[in-house]
Amino acid sequence: MRGDDQQQSEMFSYVCLQDRVPQDHPLRTIRKSVDDVLRAMAKDFDGLYVCTGRPSVPPERLLRAALVPCTARGTGRKPSSATWATC
């Protein structure tokens, strides 16, 4: 069973995460593009999951998590060799 792609705006923080990222930051554009693509793929994802059982981690969340190391390249942190191979 496919889980819902619910996004938390705050977790253990009293400041909204959207307030921490400047409006003109490139990550906002990337996130919008990724969300649009994943929304377009929703029917494809639905077909891969059965309707019964325990909900799984939504594939949208897993794919977004896989993109995190790729976006860390511009932060000055050195990504691992595994990161270079997946991006």
- The most confident of 32-36, 57-61, 75-79, 82-86, by mean pLDDT: 32-36
Structure tokens at 37: 């693509």
Question: What does pTM read for this prediction?
Answer: 0.61
Q: Are 69 and 83 in contact (CB under 8 A)?
A: yes
Q: Which domain holds residue 25?
A: 17-86
Q: Is residue 41 part of a domain?
A: yes
The per-residue pLDDT for 78 is: 55
Long-range contacts of 22-27 (CB under 8 A, 24+ apart): 26/74, 27/71
Total domain count, the chain:
1
Q: Is residue 6 part of a domain?
A: no
Q: Are 3 and 58 in contact (CB under 8 A)?
A: yes
pLDDT digit string, tens, across residues 12-70: 666 776 777 888 888 888 889 999 999 999 999 888 888 888 888 888 989 988 888 88
Q: Are 3 and 55 in contact (CB under 8 A)?
A: yes
Query: Using CA atoms, how far apart are residues 11 and 54, in angstroms rounded to an integer?
Result: 24
